[in-house]
Amino acid sequence: MSNLKTRLARLLHRLPLLRKIGKRFLRGTTMSQPFYGGVICMDAVEHAWAWAAQNNYEGFDRPLQDMLLKLSLERPWLVDIGSNLGAMTLSVLMRNTSARALAVDPNRRAQALLRESLRRNGLVRRAEIVNAAVAPVGAEVMFDFKGSVVGHVAPAGDRVASMTVKQILDRVPVGESPLIKVDIEGFETRILADLVSCASARNAVLVLELHPAGLNGLGDPVRGLEAIRSSGAVVCDLAGGPLAELDRAAFTHVVARWR
């Protein structure tokens, strides 16, 4: 989006009536903002939070961004499951020139934004985009695209293509131990068994967001943490310290390694 359009979008966002007008006429419009020396592309309406006021994507989940960057220095293959518009993928690729990424998400609009960001930053050759939800073998996945460009698995959604964890990891070269980031809005509880089995077999490092209990009818953070620990993984938080007692109502990032 040009500077003129950006100023117009900010103006329309200030007052409720103008905001309604903006939502109608700017939906589907791509805008960008500075991001680690390059740019990140976003939807002018769906991502208004990221350009209104003083917000920006460099500050979005910054501890997670920085942990992924740190881990990518030893595991340069990032598998970003639930990549959305690619903030985590881009934050790694733009700060670690040795990194490569596999970005997986069923949301085509979000992936179009990531694809444009990759193009503008000269990163196309270092990333692959996969349009699919990650699900158990044979599962039919319905996805709700409404209300947020993030989206989530929902019984009343639209059917989307799906792949198993193994099918995704098979795209990473044999011999590579990948860094796997997972953020799929509660659906992680459905793929935990496959995720833990495949990650441990590849000697991967897993960075997983456990969602609050009941989120989207799926979240079960206690079950998630138990499944990871029972697999023999060493678990820590984003600061690298022991994971404190789990709050079932909170969003919790878990970093897991297998010996």
CATH of the domain at 94: 3.40.50.150
Res. 10: pLDDT tops 80: no
d(CA 180, CA 3): 36
Res. 46: pLDDT tops 90: no
Same domain? For 168 and 124 the reply is yes
Of residues 14 and 103, which shows the higher confidence score? Answer: 103
257 phi/psi in degrees, rounded to 5:
-130, 150
pLDDT in tens, 104-119: 999 999 999 999 999 9
Number of domains in the chain: 2
pLDDT in tens, 215-236: 988 899 999 999 999 999 999 9
Per-residue pLDDT band for 28 (boundaries 50, 70, 90) equals confident
Same domain? For 28 and 76 the reply is no
d(CA 25, CA 201): 49
CA distances from 149 to 80, 107, 168, 205 (A): 17, 7, 22, 27
The pLDDT assigned to 154 comes to 83
Alpha helices in 148-220 (DSSP H): 165-169, 188-201
The pLDDT assigned to 25 comes to 55
pLDDT in tens, 174-210: 999 999 999 999 999 999 999 999 999 999 999 999 9
Res. 130: pLDDT tops 80: yes
Structural domain for 230, as ranges: 61-257
Q: Helices (H) and strands (E) in the chain — how many of each?
A: 8, 14
Same domain? For 213 and 138 the reply is yes
Nearest residue to 149 (alpha-carbon basis) of 81, 208, 85: 85
**Domain final residue, candidates 57, 72, 90:** 57
The pLDDT assigned to 1 comes to 46
The pLDDT assigned to 136 comes to 93
Contacts of range 227-235, beta carbons closer than 8 Å, 24 or more positions apart? 227/192, 227/193, 227/196, 228/192, 228/196, 228/254, 228/256, 231/196, 231/197, 231/200, 231/258, 232/200, 232/258, 232/259, 233/196, 233/200, 233/206, 233/257, 233/258, 234/258, 234/259
Same domain? For 36 and 121 the reply is no
| Mean pLDDT, the chain, whole residue set | 89
When pLDDT is averaged across residues 23-35 and rounded to a whole number, the result is: 78
The dihedral sign for the CA sequence 206, 166, 89, 145: negative
Same domain? For 100 and 124 the reply is yes
Q: Is 79 within 8 Å of 71 (Cβ atoms)?
A: no
Same domain? For 25 and 100 the reply is no
The pLDDT assigned to 152 comes to 82
The pLDDT assigned to 22 comes to 55
Res. 17: pLDDT tops 60: no
Same domain? For 100 and 39 the reply is no
The pLDDT assigned to 65 comes to 98
Same domain? For 38 and 124 the reply is no
The pLDDT assigned to 70 comes to 98
Same domain? For 205 and 236 the reply is yes
**Domain final residue, candidates 13, 28, 57:** 57
Res. 245: pLDDT tops 90: no
Same domain? For 42 and 71 the reply is no
Q: Exposure pattern of 162-198 as b/e (b: 16+ CB <10 Å)?
A: bbbbeebbeebeeeebbbbbbbbbbbbbbbbebbbeb
pLDDT in tens, 139-156: 898 898 875 567 888 888
pLDDT in tens, 51-103: 776 789 999 999 999 999 999 999 999 999 999 999 999 999 999 999 999 99
Same domain? For 53 and 103 the reply is no
Same domain? For 41 and 112 the reply is no
